[in-house]
Structure 1
Amino acid sequence: MIAPRRLNILYVSHMPASPPRFGAQARINGLMTQLSRRHDLTAVTLADAEFDADECRASMQAYCRDVVLIPNPNGKDGMSKRLLQLRSLASTQSFERQQVTVPAMQQALDRVLQSKRFDIVNLEFSFLGRCNFRQAPPGEKLPAVVVDSHNIDYELIRQYARSGSSLLRRFYAGVNWRKLRREELATYGGADGVYLCSTDDEDRLHQQVPGIRTTVIPNAADVDFYQPRPSDPPSDGKTIVFFGHMSYVPNIDGVIHFVRDIWPRIAEACPDAKFKIIGSNPHPSVKELAGPRIELTGFVPDLRPHLASSAALVVPLRLGGGTRLKIVEGMALGKAIVSTTLGAEGIKAEPGRDLLIADEPQAFADAVIQLLKNPDQASAIGHAARQLAVEKYSWGGAAESLEKFYHQILEARA
């Protein structure tokens, strides 16, 4: 085994990691922040129009030696995105790959990789997998390439093809997921290693790419930041919370499903109950859900007071993969959680002790009603959840496991 040593790591992503405002950012930010304590990090990332480049650069420079942000001319919502999606139908490449195909990105990678030797190139997601990462200064060894698979993304798009909200969306996803599958599996197969969020995704990947070197690095939480504080408001006993990036399709589908199919049952049994939806960039279909007892906050700078004052956190997801940061962050804050089986996939929690699991609308509503009417039970579940988060789902522990994986890959190459 190679003795632990300080590594030069290049992080490559199609989005900046910081400041973290949704799940994918939180994962990258959490791991990079912890790894930077023992290793030297450089980042080369694209930045869509929604990001403030100066803010992102300043935030990432807190743990990176160098940060290179490249504006993504394809990273715009509205009509320009729709036109790119339309053009992608006639292309052999997926929409996701076309969206991140930016010549300036490869030029920046060439410049960085040829000027400094890196031990590891850590690629976030597979979308940029077409880029050339196998470069080094003259006479130096080429870096190992490791991919962080936040989801098996083509499987996520295939779910949309089966259960999209409209015939047009299902048709588009049905065309796109096959292209993405070819690209994604090629990226994984060409890498020296892949780390995934859950054993379920790891098993799925091994079925498609036998013999690939993998490990599981679960999503985690900053358990020091996300913890109950004396200064936070106490639970009001009546507010149910969902939080997440509200332009993300699984979150959109989840809250619409909750409001239409589950919430009426809760509202009838608990007349004082309220539902709060927290998250940036809410889709128009989500905005339509707001009402007298349903609050839509948009982005909030600090989740902790909102979660502390709530009676329970709900995760009514029907689409998606990986593991949900909203669950581990809610657990770290000591909140009782009701989730679908899919929502809690990959979380090693005991139903009934660490959280409640329900899939059918009536069963989900009954679980929420149970917590609203039994605050002592909600408190006990929240306490157990906090203990589990501290023991198994801290970013410090996740980063140590990733560091071991890096060294295993470097040893195998040596």
Structure 2
Amino acid sequence: MSNPERLSVLYVSQMPASPPRFGAQARIHGLMTQLAERHDLTAVMLVDDEFDANESRTAMQAYCREVALIPNPHSHEGPTKRIEQLQSLVSTQSFERLRATVPALQSALDRALRTKRFDIVNLEFSFLGHCNLRQAPAGEKLPALVVDSHNIDFELARQYARSGSSLIRRLYAGVNWRKLRREELGTYRDADGVYLCSAADERRVLAEIPDANTAVIPNAADVDYYQPRPSDPPSDGRTLLFFGLLSYVPNIDGVLHFVENIWPYIAKANPNARLKIVGANPPPQLKALAGPRIEFTGFVPDLRPHLASAAVVIVPLRLGGGTRLKIVEGMAMGKAIVSTELGAEGIEAESGRDLLIEDEPKAFADAVGRLLNDPGLAARIGKSARELAVQRYSWNSAARKLEGFYRQILNAGSRGKRS
């Protein structure tokens, strides 16, 4: 390292970090923007058709020294994606890895790594683990490789295999998760360090790779951006809010579960209650749920007014891993939250003080009803949640912890090979 105080970090991802529109982006964006205040960041990332590459490049140039966004020619959706998923069943590689295999990306990585020496290559997810990331200019020390595991992706796919919405989805996931497992664990084994969103996910990795070098870097929130503001509308006392990317399977399952199994109890006991679902790309099966008391807003540019006016934030998730950004952002806004145990996994919050946790449909509905009927209780839980978010779940705190993990790896001299 030329400057022991300032690190040079190459961020590699299957999606651009900014502007953050959903959970995975929010994690990358939150950590990168905080690290950029003290270190030099370069980004080489894929960009799918769903993103505006110019918008993303401009946003990331505000904190990165260099930004290379490579169009992904495999970014198909709808029927084309389904056909490619079926075709992937005969491949030895997972669909996710096939979709992220882009020769132009490797060429961009080659140029970046052979031109400048990096202390750290930070790989987001494991789907690009096949890329050649251990390169440096001639005679220079190779960079350390660190992987950010947003989820244990093969475990998530295994959950889909057990509880997918259709037989075809379950059969597909039953084949694909085994490929994901081999690839994901291979990427973790090759890395100098792996950081995870929760202690539960860390235990899952260590059960597979006992000698892995791991750290827990929790999801967090921009607690200065997400905070109660005098200009925001007050709680309307009746709106339940769910927010998240609605093309994401755990969110689809959570909304369907809530509307089919929990909402009927709430709607009957609270005739004025209404449900607002905020998020991009809802599939037809979710759109069909819309009605006089159930609203789908689509993507919104600013979530804060919607959070402020809601009486309760709901997180009825049954699938997934890591930690939920929707919880820490809701907490930062001082909102009362009702979640399943899995939805709140990895959040060091106490049920009854910082949020309410219930798994059974009737108990979940009753918890929502308690908050609707007792605004004072909702306010006390929201206040405690805000305090917890500020104390433990700010991006600044998470980035400081990640910086410490980087330095621990570099000080250990992991893989001190030269090119």
Q: TM-score with structure 2 length normalisation?
A: 0.98
- C-alpha distance in structure 2 between counterparts of 1:253 and 1:15, whole Å: 24
Q: Which runs of 5+ in 2 are unaligned?
A: none
Residue of structure 2 in register with 1:96 after alignment:
96
Alpha-carbon distance between aligned partners in 2 of 1:189 and 1:18, rounded to the nearest angstrom = 29
Q: 2:227–2:334: 8 Å Cα contact kept in structure 1?
A: yes
RMSD value, Cα: 0.9
State the partner residue of 1:229. 229
Which residue in 2 is equivalent to 1:282? 282
Deviations 1:338-374 (A, max 9, x none): 0000000000001000000000000000000000000
1:150-169 equivalence runs, <5 A? 150-169=150-169
Equivalent residue number for residue 134 of structure 1: 134
For each residue in 1:301-324, what CA deviation from the matched residue of structure 2 results, as whole angstroms up to 9, or x when unmatched? 000000100001000000000000
**Structure 2 SS opposite 1:126:** coil
CA contact (8 A) 1:50 1:76 kept: no
**Matching residue of 1:408:** 408
- Inter-partner Cα distance in structure 1 for 2:34 and 2:346: 22
1:80: how far off?
Answer: 2.3
| Identical pairs, percent | 73
3-state SS of paired residue (2:118): coil
Question: Who is 1:35 aligned against?
Answer: 35
C-alpha displacement of 1:86:
1.5
For 1:255, give the aligned amino acid: V
Aligned equivalent of 2:48: 48
Preserved CA contact (<8 Å) 2:86 2:172 = no
Contact kept? 1:151, 1:201, Cα under 8 Å: yes
Stretches of structure 1 lacking an aligned partner (at least 5 in a row)? none
The answer as to 2:207 corresponding to 1:207 is: yes
Number of equivalenced pairs: 413
Give the equivalent residue in structure 1 for 2:386: 386
The Cα of 1:284 is off from its aligned counterpart by 1.2
CA distance in 2 between counterparts of 1:153 and 1:392 reads 26
Tell me by how many angstroms 1:3 deviates.
Answer: 9.2
AA in 1 matched with 2:384: A
CA apart distance, 1:147: 0.1
- In the TM superposition, residue 161 of structure 1 has moved relative to its aligned partner by 0.2
CA contact (8 A) 1:4 1:407 kept: no
1:257 equivalent in alignment to 2:257: yes
Deviations 1:166-212 (A, max 9, x none): 00000000000000000000000000000000000000000001111
Other-structure match for 1:372: 372
Match of 2:315 in 1: 315
Report the alpha carbon displacement of residue 87 of structure 1 after superposing the two structures with TM.
Answer: 1.4
Q: What is the correspondence of 1:61-210 to structure 2 with a 5 Å cutoff?
A: 61-210=61-210
Q: What displacement does 1:84 show?
A: 1.4
Q: Distance in 2 between matches of 1:79 and 1:160?
A: 20
- Equivalent residues of 1:35, 1:403 under 8 A apart: yes
Matched residues in 2 for 1:82 and 1:381: separation?
Answer: 43
Report if aligned partners of 1:152, 1:321 keep a CA contact under 8 Å in 2: yes
Offset at residue 213 of structure 1 (A): 0.3
Cα distance between partner residues in 2 of 1:17 and 1:289: 32
Q: Does 1:241 align with 2:211?
A: no
Which aligned pairs between 1:353-372 and structure 2 lie closer than 5 A?
Answer: 353-372=353-372
Q: Residue type of the partner of 2:301? A: P
CA offsets, 1:276-332, max 9 Å, x none? 000011111111111000000000000000010000100000000000000000000
1:233-273 Cα distance to aligned partner (Å, 9 max, x none): 00000000000000000000000000000001000000000
Q: Distance in 2 between matches of 1:180 and 1:20?
A: 26
SS of 1:175 mapped into structure 2: helix
- Separation (CA, whole Å) in 1 of partners of 2:218 and 2:405: 13
* Rounded Cα–Cα distance in structure 1 between residues aligned with 2:49 and 2:351: 41
